[in-house]
A and B are shown apart, each in its own frame.
Chain A
Amino acid sequence: MAEVILFTAFALTAVAFALGVIFRRNAVHCALHLVGVLLSLSGMFVLLNAQFIAAIQILVYAGAIMVLFLFVVMLLNVKGETPLLTPGAAKGFGFLFALIAFVELLWIVLAPGGEEVAPPPAPPLVPGFGSPAAIGRALYTTWLFPFEVTSILLLVAVIGAVVLAKRKFF
């Protein structure tokens, strides 16, 4: 029962903060709302036995990435946006498409299984599911190659960021 209560609380805060992200005028406020969403999700991760992911969600996402966001927001010091939303038909189409997409997603998620067989009962969780040790083992055995490729991706990103920041473009 405690899980249900916690889930409900996290879900509500996450959605509420999410709406704040897209409708607050001040970019700093938007960023702080995003931090709220990230924290709520981190809570849900714990409920789903993903303790390690929850931890790096807070450390990396809410910590490092969001600091970067805030840093840029304050560096650019954009004056209050007027108007807030895109002018013209693009805005209307945006809302419309998003609504259709949402309905379709709901349809897919909530539609009765149909002729499909009911999902098999969840297998009992192995001990240490979602722990750093288990993640690390999977990451350095099965997923070693993608893991190494990721390091190259990050290197490229670092170089790209440096080059973009140093030269004059656009």
Chain B
Amino acid sequence: MTGHGVPLELYQLVAALLFTIGLVGVLVRRSALVIFMSIELMLNAVNLSFVAFSRLHGQMDGQIFVFFVMSVAAAEVAVGLAILVAIFRNRETASVDDVHLLKG
């Protein structure tokens, strides 16, 4: 119990649902941009989970974690979008199935 009526399990349920939706987005969408957004969605689902647990235990460490997750997300978006722009400039595409450089 979170102490004010809404059980913790419900927050976890919402977090799980959002995470799964994000996962589907990453796995099935072609657009690299949307895949990035889906990743943000997954990160936010985890953030929700962190904050809920933080409230449950009455400790702020969970919120601090959210803070760090946001910093990492910002860094990731900056670099990821830069890569995306670079790829698009050279190949005129933003679809992940048009690019297969990630192999030895």
Contacts and interface: CB of A to CB of B under 8 A. Distances in A.
B28 A170 contact: no
Nearest to B16: A105
Interface string B23-45: 11101111101101110110010
Interface in B5-32: 5-6, 9-14, 16-25, 27-31
Contact of A41 (B25, B30, B48): B48
A157 B68 contact: no
A94 B28 contact: yes
B62 to A, nearest CB: 8
A50 B44 contact: no
Interface string A88-107: 00110111011101100110
Interface centre among A22, A64, A75, A129 (most CB of B within 10 A): A22
Chain B: interface size category: 35 or more
B60 A129 contact: yes
A102 B17 contact: yes
B54 A50 contact: yes
A15 B13 CA distance: 11
Nearest to B36: A69
A27 B41 CA distance: 15
Interface residues of A, number: 90
A73 B79 contact: no
A150 B2 CA distance: 31
A85 to B, nearest CB: 5
10 closest A-B pairs by beta carbon, nearest first, are A94-B27, A22-B25, A157-B75, A164-B82, A102-B20, A105-B16, A161-B82, A48-B55, A109-B12, A123-B58
Contact of B51 (A53, A125, A156): A53
Interface centre among A64, A83, A87, A135 (most CB of B within 10 A): A135
A68 B37 contact: no
Given A34-B37, A170-B101, A78 B51 contact: no
A47 B88 CA distance: 41
Contact of A122 (B3, B68, B71, B101): B3
Interface string A21-33: 1100001001100
Contacts of B58: 122-126, 129
